[in-house]
């Protein structure tokens, strides 16, 4: 790596630091322990979704269905949990997410259907299934979801929220998978150049399909976390999460052309999105202006990505 590209690779982190520093200068509330904890908890669920999205984007794909998938997983988990206990419910939710990912992956990799269209389709289709399953009403049973599950959405272990432990452990595990295993190298190779990867013996179709399974399963985990946070399975939850996740992954320096991107940088991208929202709220910026600001940042990030890829 050249000196220049190494520095360019740190743009996401530098942006986050600048953003935090500017906010801290403008309001002393920002660096309070309460607010910093809030930021971690607020980032946790989106971080898990963004990690799954990173797999797909590094593999050269795209997934619009993660928000619907998270809603499905949350509702399935809540419904199963009320009948069969927390563990079975959580597993059922994650499996539901992985199955959506598998369906996406098979259609995209083996039927060669465009990823944008396929996942646009599943985004709508899965949302329909969620409404059919739940009758459109939130799932919380007669007396609410099990107390231990709700505690998972609000309480702490060693001073850190359970909701924050989840992405930390996942980040460590999945970074290993993506950076240090032959499988991980195949994902990068496939996204970097499908033809070349195929010619060098990478089973590109299986690799592509697998990235969607990761994405679906992680959206499933995020959905379960969301249900714990919202103390119910919410059929309307997760709308527009796909857009935030994609924006975060791009903010983290991944290329939408595939083959580039790192999990921890995507998580930094999530922090940028969440800290921006948090800062604007703390500074009492009008909510209409907030939309303008968030949009401007997304475009700026995409522009930075474009400029970087020209070299």
Q: In the range 247-266, which residues lie near another protein by CB under 8 A?
A: none
d(CA 284, CA 118) in angstroms, rounded, equals 40
Indicate the residue among 173 and 292 with the shorter CB distance to another protein: 292
- The answer for residues whose C-beta is within 8 angstroms of residue 88's C-beta and 6 or more apart is 80, 81
End-to-end Cα spacing for the chain: 12
Among residues 143, 159, 195, 288, which is the contact residue for another protein, using CB under 8 A?
288
E strand or H helix at 172: helix 162-180
DSSP per position, 245-304 = HHHHHHHTT--TTSS---HHHHHHHHHHHHHHHHHHHHTT--HHHHHHHHHHHHHHHHHH
Indicate the residue among 197 and 267 with the shorter CB distance to another protein: 267
Q: How far is the CB of 114 from another protein (least distance, A)?
A: 27
Q: In the range 179-208, which residues lie near another protein by CB under 8 A?
A: none
Binding mask 103-132 for another protein (x = CB under 8 A): ------------------------------
Among residues 13, 38, 113, 165, which is the contact residue for another protein, using CB under 8 A?
38
d(CA 222, CA 242) in angstroms, rounded, equals 12
Q: How far is the CB of 195 from another protein (least distance, A)?
A: 29
22 Rama class: left (phi>0) / alpha (psi -120 to 50) / beta:
alpha
The window from 38-46, 172-180, 187-195, 207-215 that contacts another protein (CB under 8 A) reads: 38-46
Q: What angle do CA 182, 189, 252 make, to 5 degrees?
A: 100
Binding mask 3-32 for another protein (x = CB under 8 A): -x--xx--x--xx--xx--xx--xx-x--x
| Sequence-ordered strand ranges (E) for 113-250 | 156-157, 160-161
C-alpha dist (Å) from residue 264 to 129, 137, 170, 251: 33, 36, 11, 12
The window from 40-48, 79-87, 97-105, 203-211 that contacts another protein (CB under 8 A) reads: 40-48
- Binding of another protein by 84 (CB under 8 A): no
- Binding of another protein by 236 (CB under 8 A): yes
Query: What count of other Cβ atoms lies within 10 Å of the Cβ of residue 131?
Result: 15
- Binding of another protein by 239 (CB under 8 A): yes
As given in the structure block, the two tokens for residue 232 are: 């119910």
Among residues 121, 125, 138, 146, which is the contact residue for another protein, using CB under 8 A?
138
Q: Which positions touch another protein (CB under 8 A)?
A: 4, 7-8, 11, 14-15, 18-19, 22-23, 26-27, 29, 32, 34-35, 38, 41-42, 45, 136-138, 140, 144, 153-154, 226, 229-232, 234-237, 239-240, 274, 276-290, 292-294, 296-297, 299-301, 303-304, 307-308, 311
């Amino acid at each position: 790596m050249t000196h220049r590209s190494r520095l360019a690779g740190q743009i996401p982190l530098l942006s986050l630091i600048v953003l935090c520093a500017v906010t801290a200068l403008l309001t002393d509330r920002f660096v309070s322990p309460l607010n910093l904890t809030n930021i971690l908890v607020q980032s946790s669920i989106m971080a898990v979704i963004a990690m799954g999205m990173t797999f797909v984007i590094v593999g050269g794909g795209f997934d619009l269905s993660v928000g619907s998938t998270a809603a499905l997983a949350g509702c399935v988990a809540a419904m199963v949990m009320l009948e069969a206990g927390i563990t079975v419910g959580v597993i059922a939710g994650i499996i539901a997410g992985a199955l959506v990912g598998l369906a996406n992956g098979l259609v995209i990799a083996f039927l060669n259907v465009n990823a944008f269209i396929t996942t646009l389709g599943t985004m709508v289709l899965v949302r329909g299934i969620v409404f059919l399953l739940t009758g459109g009403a939130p799932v919380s049973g007669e007396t609410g979801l099990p107390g231990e599950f709700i505690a998972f959405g609000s309480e702490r272990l060693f001073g850190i929220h359970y909701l924050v432990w989840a992405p930390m452990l996942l980040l460590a595990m999945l970074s290993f998978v993506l950076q240090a295993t032959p499988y991980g190298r195949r994902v990068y190779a496939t996204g970097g150049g499908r033809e070349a990867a195929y010619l060098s013996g990478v089973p590109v179709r299986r690799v592509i399909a697998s990235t969607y399974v990761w994405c679906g399963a992680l959206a499933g985990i995020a959905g379960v976390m969301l249900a714990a946070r919202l103390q119910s399975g919410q059929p309307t939850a997760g709308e527009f999460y796909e857009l935030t996740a994609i924006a975060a992954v791009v903010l983290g320096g991944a290329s939408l052309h595939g083959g580039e991107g790192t999990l921890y940088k995507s998580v930094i991208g999530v922090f940028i999105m969440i800290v921006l929202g948090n800062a604007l709220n703390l500074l009492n910026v009008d909510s209409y202006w907030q939309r303008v600001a968030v949009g401007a940042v997304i475009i700026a990030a995409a522009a930075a990505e474009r400029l970087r890829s020209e070299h």
